[in-house]
Chains A and B, each alone.
Chain A
Amino acid sequence: MSADGNGNNNSNGFPKNRIHEFRTIAEQIKPNTTILDLGCGNGCLLHFVKQSKPVKETGIEINPVKINQCVSKGVSVIQSDLDHGLKFPKKSFDTVLIVDTLQTTQSPITVLEQALKVGKKLILVFPNFAQIQVRLYLLAMGRMPKSKELPYEWHNTPNIHLFTIQDMLNLCKEKGINVHAEAYFDSGGNPLPNIFPNFFASKAMLVLSK
């Protein structure tokens, strides 16, 4: 969760407007299973999941400040660079999470494929660059779009590999990745019905496996 804007954080350190997203993710995780969160940020998602059910969590994070925040929450975290690869054996985690992180990696395909290899399933959450407001921003302003999900300037954004829902669905088809479930959210974090998500959704959650 390194690449999103900071909303109003509640006492557990996550923006209030992400409650639906977090709940939807947590629903996909069974109790007494193992989770690996790639780019776990300050650990608020793992902390949220841990509070709702017993799980064995591991976060991967590169930023020392965020690692300290994880440790304060009692979340287990390993300092590592996702772009240096994951050295875990096949299917060693029940669930792998990549939340708001894939677009920040140097080689997103490698990270995605490794996540699908080490995890029995992958929950992928990402900002949709084809959402109507983003499209209009580019169309009207002629500048790189900024929004709540994408608050950075073009030159300082960690989001170096932005993509759309359609891009990801195409990639899944191309790579033979199974899509088991999908959920979409608007810019306020509210759930959206599954109607033209590539046009309306600010954020997407896909449950994938290979």
Chain B
Amino acid sequence: MAPQNNSVGTVQTKFANFKKPFKLQSGETLPELTVAYETYGTLNESKSNAILITHALSGDAHAAGFHKGDKKPGWWDEFIGPGKGLDTNKYFIICSNFLGGCKGTTGPKSTNPKTGLPYSLEFPLITVSDMVRVQKLLLDHLKIKKLLAIVGGSLGGMQALEWSVKYPKAAHSILALATTAKSSPQTIAFNEVGRQAIMSDPAFANGNYYFRTKKPKTGLAIARMIGHITYLSDKGLQKKFGRKLQDKNKPDFSFNTEFQIESYLKYKGGTFVDRFDANSYLYITRAMDYFDVARGKSLSIAFAKTQARFLVVSFTSDWLYPPEESQKITHALTLAGKNVTYYNITADYGHDSFLVKTNELARIVRRFLDSSYKEFEKELKELNK
């Protein structure tokens, strides 16, 4: 598929390097950082139209448009582009690969300057808060003092919420989609099964597989398959696959692929291992596990200082971060006296609805950003008076 009219067209990943040591929440230090990012649209003169996208577990900086020669667009191309949910004719969109990622930003795959070899499991444990602090470094580097909005779904939503607490004045609006204020034991449990699948793959070799021909593909694929089940819903699976058999009319009575759903999961697992690093998967899921934006305290106290207005969106069939989690966030924000809008979209696609059911999401996001943009322009004008 060639770039179309409603696409941002051909894009390139850029890199920002930070040579200063970066201290992590764990107390460990990274000697230097590289941040991979992409931008779409144009930053206006008053710098009032910048929006940061915070991506989810398997995302990266390439959110929209096409890399040269690629047939597949960025991961949220449905939602970002001229006239889309995040309209690049109006807004300047920034998306960076998060800390610990494997798509250009420093992570376990990166070279440790002390050894000249990949960090692997020498890489220190990271948190969502660390990811957000790295994003702040990038925005300072891009000389953007205050964002119009931060938009994120799932783990991206966790980062957006973390931003609002860590930097209460850094964004006019926070859009937290299909997310939660803290990882539930259920999420931690699924993450742990995924990690165990990776670590028990003989090819994992304690994380030192980078120079080996055999990579822990089986383990990572299983982790992805488990993860993917949690992103869907029973109803969505019924609709899409039912009990249909794969390329046959009757079962073989074997352990080969019998049902369509098996084939689908194997395909999802198989394509994932070609684009994702197993060590990264361990570190990022661990960062999710640690996430609790309130740090064990009351959520409305945690939000006390934020100056942002919020749009919280959930999806009815999402059982990984169910609507109740979004309702808790909304409730806490209301009690803290913040401006918050909550919208629960009826969708059958489970957690992944925020990526696939984008029409209704786009409608409310466009409206919300329109009014945010007007307010933010007014705020900046009054500041400059």
Contacts and interface: CB of A to CB of B under 8 A. Distances in A.
Given A34-B337, A78-B330, A92-B335, 20 more contacts: A58-B334, A64-B343, A64-B345, A64-B360, A68-B367, A70-B341, A71-B341, A71-B343, A71-B364, A71-B367, A72-B370, A74-B371, A74-B375, A76-B309, A76-B340, A77-B341, A79-B343, A87-B331, A88-B334, A88-B335
B335 A76 contact: no
A142 interface: no
B315 to A, nearest CB: 12
Interface string A53-66: 00010100000100
Nearest to B334: A58
A165 interface: no
A73 interface: yes
B374 A74 contact: yes
Contacts, number: 52
Given A87-B331, A88-B334, A71 B371 contact: yes
B43 to A, nearest CB: 24
A89 B335 CA distance: 9
Nearest to B363: A68
Interface string A77-121: 111100000011100100000000000000000000000000000
Given A64-B343, A78-B341, A79-B344, A71 B335 contact: no
A79 B337 CA distance: 17
A130 interface: no
B339 A67 contact: no
A95 B347 CA distance: 34
B343 A67 contact: yes
Interface of A: 34, 56, 58, 64, 67-68, 70-74, 76-80, 87-89, 92
Given A88-B334, A92-B335, A78 B340 contact: yes
Contacts of A67: 341, 343, 364
Chain B binding surface SS class: helix
Contacts of A74: 371, 374-375
B273 to A, nearest CB: 39
5 contacts: A71-B368, A73-B371, A74-B375, A76-B309, A78-B340
Interface of B: 309, 311, 327, 330-331, 334-335, 337, 339-346, 360, 363-364, 367-368, 370-371, 374-375
A34 B335 CA distance: 11
Contacts of B334: 58, 78, 88
A89 B331 CA distance: 11
B310 to A, nearest CB: 9
Contacts of B360: 64
Nearest to B372: A74
Nearest to A74: B371
Contacts of B340: 58, 76, 78
Nearest to B309: A76
A68 B337 CA distance: 22
Nearest to A76: B339
Contacts of B339: 56, 76
A34 B333 CA distance: 13
A37 to B, nearest CB: 13
B178 to A, nearest CB: 15
A89 B371 CA distance: 30
A67 B361 CA distance: 12
Contacts of B331: 87-88
Contacts of B341: 67, 70-71, 76-78
A79 B364 contact: no
Contacts of A56: 337, 339
Contacts of A58: 334, 340
Contacts of A73: 371
Contacts of B374: 74
A193 B293 CA distance: 55
Nearest to B371: A74
Contacts of B342: 77-80
A104 to B, nearest CB: 20
Nearest to A59: B341
A64 B359 CA distance: 13
A-B residue pairs, 5 tightest by C-beta? A74-B371, A71-B367, A78-B342, A76-B339, A72-B367
A78 B364 CA distance: 13
Which one of B327, B334, B337, B364 has the highest number of Cβ atoms from chain A below 10 Å of its Cβ?
A: B334
